[in-house]
Amino acid sequence: MPTTNLPDGVSFREAFRFWLKLGFISFGGPAGQIAIMHRELVEQKRWISEKRFLHALNYCMLLPGPEAQQLATYIGWLMHRTWGGVVAGALFVLPSLFILIALSWVYVAFGDVPLVAGIFYGIKPAVAAIVLQAVFRIGGKSLRNPLLAPVPWAIAAISFIAIAVLHVPFPWVVLGAALTGWLCARFAPGQFVLGGGHGSAQAARGPALIDDDTPTPEHARFKKSRLAAVLATGAVLWLLPMGALLAWQGWHGALTQMSWFFTKAALLTFGGAYAVLPYVYQGAVEQFGWLTGPQMIDGLALGETTPGPLIMVVAFVAFVGGWTKEVLGPDALFQGATLAALLVTWFTFLPSFIFILAGGPLVESTHGKIHFTAPLAAITAAVVGVIASLALFFAAHVAFPESVTAGFSSSVEWPAVAIMLAAGLALLRYKAGVIPVIAACALIGLLLRLSGLA
């Protein structure tokens, strides 16, 4: 029997302690992170009801950026106004940022040590399998019966070809998909039905602090003056550091280019981190040369094994780029790399806070309208094809690590391929967790390297 007692009010200090704890335990990608918040906030603490939790989640799924981090920001904002949202969203990110800076330093300083090299030999194939799992997971949610809704399947296939074969820039893929969704909303609305959230509603657990019928608090209601204030504040918070970088390094400085590039990336993360990784790869590896393709895979592996949103891999990209480009000179490699990671994290996550604090009431007013949801559903379909191209790229680097860009002329790295296949089987067939799979693959890779078999 559910309790009928209303939970005690939540102080800002109590909420702060919870968001800090969440920052250290938010493993498992967005699905795992949302499940943790659901268990803690809906089932155990009853700070928010099931319906209101899913309602907030649906908002975040419609926005670019990491939906789990945005959900934490939204709930924190709903409970304790602007500072509640800022604290909840920041603490979701900061623990993983500092952990990644430490791990990135170990990687660039000691990456050639046999122990570290062996661990990464096993982790890289696991990452390729994890990306393949993401294709099935997101595809299962966004692609329905192809006979009833062929357009999303066509968008996914065209997006795969555009990225993998034609090397079309990722933003153009997103814009093309959005335009297709908008046209379908006008002429074939049945092609796109956006999902309604993660999981189904649970049985009643008794009243929650923010319950189904709790009125929207005054600070969460739409006002033009509040919207203008939030947008102006966000613009200042972006312009001040960008202006300082321009004055210090000029437009072509490495830190300026990183900050501008990841600002654009933050606006294109429909469908989660996996969707924007091809864009990050195109820019960070091919255009600017901040790091290499194998290093990008290593960074994704580190991102998978740390708490927080997977898009935090951008901190690794920036750290390695800052180290490689010696942004503060050859005598301050760590300081320069750390500054690059901090700047990129700021510019990557600032839009997410603005989207929630400024756009929450606006998204609520348009929720469920096909002309708004269809373009975003089309983008999600494109994301499936984009991630499939990323899986192909990672698998090729695992199988042909030396000359993948030279026509696959080298011999196949069979031990790594075997690890990749085993990891894929564990994830897709036996539903094993990401962390146990990565840990097992790291151990296998280390044993293979130490024994001389790889």
Question: % helix / strand / coil in the chain, to the nearest 5?
Answer: 75, 0, 25
What's the rounded Cα separation, in Å, for the pair 76 and 265?
Answer: 25
For the stretch 11-49, pLDDT in tens is 899 999 999 989 987 865 676 688 788 888 988 888 988
At 285 the pLDDT is 92
Calculate ∠ Cα 2-3-8, nearest 5°.
135
For the stretch 319-354, pLDDT in tens is 999 999 999 999 999 999 999 999 999 999 999 999
What's the rounded Cα separation, in Å, for the pair 383 and 142?
Answer: 9
| pLDDT-wise least confident of 53-67, 80-94, 273-287 | 53-67
At 199 the pLDDT is 42
At 195 the pLDDT is 46
Give the tokens for residue 93: 């990110």
At 399 the pLDDT is 86
pLDDT at residue 362 is higher than 80: no
At 349 the pLDDT is 95
Across the strands, what pairs with 48? 210
More confident residue, 4 or 421: 421
| Contact (Cβ atoms closer than 8 angstroms) between residue 338 and residue 101 | yes
| Contact (Cβ atoms closer than 8 angstroms) between residue 139 and residue 395 | no
pLDDT at residue 7 is higher than 70: no
More confident residue, 117 or 223: 223
Please tell me the pTM assigned to this model: 0.74
pLDDT at residue 368 is higher than 60: no
Burial of 165 (0-12, 13-18, 19+ CB in 10 A): exposed
Instruction: Tell me the mean pLDDT in the region 208-233.
Output: 85
Q: What percent of the chain has pLDDT over 90?
A: 36
